[in-house]
Amino acid sequence: MKAYIAKRIAWTFFATWVTLTITFLLLDFSPISAAGAEFVDQQVQQGMDADEARELYQEQLGHGDTAWERYTNFMVGLATFDWGWSSMYSQPVVDVIANSWIYSFQYVFPATVLSVILGFAIGLYSATHQYTKEDYAATLFAFTGISLPNFWFAIMLILIFATMLGWLPTYYSTDVALLSLENAKQLILPVIVLSTAAIASEMRYARAESLEYVHAEFVKTARAKGLSENQVTIRHIFRPAMVPLITILVGDILGLLFAGGYVIEVIFQIPGLGLVSYEAIIQQDTPLVLATVLIPVFIAIIGNLVQDICYTILDPRIDFGDR
């Protein structure tokens, strides 16, 4: 098992390397990269000192004359947390990230916890009560949840609760302290929007996976032992269903939450990573765009590793020899 984990870690490094290389290739072949050389000219035209502009250009990630030089600079820069200079903020990219992540975290984290608990619970209930009214209601909710375009849903909530009813603020304000009731109040709508899709998605997965086990022979055996329905549900339906569910947590839900967060920050003007990224794209601040795209990628890669390790704990049958 130790060898297996070591292998997974090695694979993680390899996957990271491949991902970054693909990223570099995409970047290097793009018209935006060609524009990089014009960057100095642009800055000079905007009244910057030529040396200063060139120095600033040196700060860019992946500069250099040959492709190989650019590649090595790019990789070394990423590895040493020297992620380049944000012209938009006039700050190193790393600092911009350090200042903004907390705004994303403050609502993504509660939404994640909420969606995992509610999604799994509803899904499990739905599976064990298949074809009941509650099941149909939950399924309808799930379909609605995964089909609602989150940006439109957010706007509709703003229209109802902010514009029409005036109960909640339309935009996020950074003037209030992070740990205040005011702040919690202005995060209600973002959390609702973000978790609705996640709950719906998790509920569907949890329901489908649990259904695989609802009619399993060992569930019948468990019932025949005299266990109560709750024991049967938790130990013999949910626990085995956990094994496949772990894989969707990282693969699908993480992506869903990040993508949702991006749009939500743009709509509510929450100055987190998503809004930073959005503005960086609008301003063509390539180093910042790259960083804000790579952060979710790194989180996903690490999440995958954690998921694999969880898998070995959850499923005794896993064959450590292969993969």
| Measured distance CA(92)–CA(210) in Å, rounded | 48
Binding-site member from 44, 168, 184, 301 for another protein (CB under 8 A): 301
- Of residues 183 through 242, those in contact with another protein by CB under 8 A are 215-218, 220-229, 231, 235-236, 239-240
60 backbone dihedrals φ, ψ, rounded to 5°? -65, 145
Span of 46-54, 118-126, 138-146, 172-180 interacting with another protein by CB under 8 A:
138-146
Nearest-approach distance from CB 293 to another protein, in angstroms: 5
Instruction: State how far the alpha carbon of 97 is from the alpha carbons of 7, 54, 111, 244, 296, in Å.
Output: 31, 24, 21, 33, 12
Give CA torsion, residues 145, 150, 152, 153, to 10 deg. 50
| Measured distance CA(216)–CA(27) in Å, rounded | 50
Name which of 11, 10, 37, 28 is nearest 75 in CA terms: 28
Does the protein bind another protein through residue 304 (CB under 8 A)? yes
> With left for phi above 0 and alpha for psi between -120 and 50, is residue 226 left, alpha or beta?
left
Q: How many CA atoms lie within 13 A of 285 on its CB side?
A: 25
Does the protein bind another protein through residue 144 (CB under 8 A)? yes
| C-beta of 47 vs 226, nearer to another protein | 226
Nearest-approach distance from CB 156 to another protein, in angstroms: 7
Span of 36-44, 45-53, 75-83, 253-261 interacting with another protein by CB under 8 A:
253-261
Does the protein bind another protein through residue 20 (CB under 8 A)? no
Binding-site member from 6, 18, 50, 113 for another protein (CB under 8 A): 18
Does the protein bind another protein through residue 155 (CB under 8 A)? yes
Does the protein bind another protein through residue 26 (CB under 8 A)? yes
- Of residues 115 through 134, those in contact with another protein by CB under 8 A are 131
Unique residue bearing structure tokens 């399924």: 139
| C-beta of 53 vs 261, nearer to another protein | 261
| C-beta of 121 vs 243, nearer to another protein | 243
Task: Give the contact letters, 254-273, x = binds to another protein (CB under 8 A), - = no.
Answer: xx--xx--xx--xx------
Does the protein bind another protein through residue 85 (CB under 8 A)? no
| C-beta of 117 vs 282, nearer to another protein | 282
Number of residues that bind another protein (CB under 8 A): 71
Span of 52-60, 110-118, 181-189, 313-321 interacting with another protein by CB under 8 A:
313-321
| Measured distance CA(83)–CA(239) in Å, rounded | 42
Give the residues across from 85 on adjacent strands. Answer: 92
Instruction: State how far the alpha carbon of 93 is from the alpha carbons of 54, 161, 213, 275, 283, in Å.
Output: 18, 36, 48, 14, 14
The CA radius of gyration of the chain, in Å to the nearest whole number, is 24
Does the protein bind another protein through residue 147 (CB under 8 A)? yes
Does the protein bind another protein through residue 165 (CB under 8 A)? no
Unique residue bearing structure tokens 């499990």: 124
| Measured distance CA(262)–CA(258) in Å, rounded | 6
Q: How many CB atoms are located within 10 Å of the residue 252 CB?
A: 14
Binding-site member from 6, 32, 79, 178 for another protein (CB under 8 A): 32
